[in-house]
Amino acid sequence: MLKSTLDRIVRSHRNVTSSCSISISISSISGVPKEKVDCVVIGADVVGLAVARELALKGREVLVLDSAPTFSTSTSSRNSEVIHAGIYYPTHSLKPKFCVRGRYLLYKYCSHHNITHKQIGKLIVATGSSEIPDLHNLMHCGIQNGVDGLVMIWRVQKP
């Protein structure tokens, strides 16, 4: 059963990109299948496949495993097309650092490769005066996290 599952995964991922070399050698030691690869990447969505590709380009033998029958069927297939700024994450954690850096790199990549994209921003609204301190806290957190372009807009202003 393991061999047929691995065969199915390998077949589905060999078609991902010609530069991604995925190979498996299976041997049997006391009846237990053993796979030999340099790296195993869990998850065949955008990040997993990007990691697997980079490893393969560096000459590693890579095996990509996923619970789905084919690649990019979970989170990546329902992408909201939002590039997160890093506003909501705790200060000094890795998430805002990765968001801020990743956002910069993604926009740079899109521009460099002529990929259509829009930087439309985000409008966070207080629906009552009791929520205004929350907006100030988000603004402070965003600034601490290195998010640029943050502006506080009041009722009389138009975005």
Q: What is the pLDDT of residues 56-103, one digit of tens each?
A: 999 999 999 988 887 777 766 566 677 888 898 998 899 999 999 999
How many helices, marked H, and strands, marked E, lie in the chain? Answer: 4, 4
At residue 151, does pLDDT exceed 60?
A: yes
- Domain-wise residue ranges, the chain: 2-77, 80-144
At residue 149, does pLDDT exceed 80?
A: yes
Please list the residues that pair with 62 across neighbouring strands.
39
H or E segment at 27? Answer: strand 26-29
> How many CA atoms lie within 13 Å of 140's alpha carbon, on the beta-carbon side?
6
Name the amino acid, one letter, at 57.
L
Question: According to the model, what pLDDT value does residue 143 have?
Answer: 94
What is the pTM assigned to this prediction? 0.54
Average predicted confidence (pLDDT) for the chain:
78
Question: In this structure, are residues 89 and 145 in contact, taking their beta carbons and an 8 Å threshold?
Answer: yes
**Tens digits of residue pLDDT in 100-130:** 999 999 899 889 989 888 888 888 888 888 9
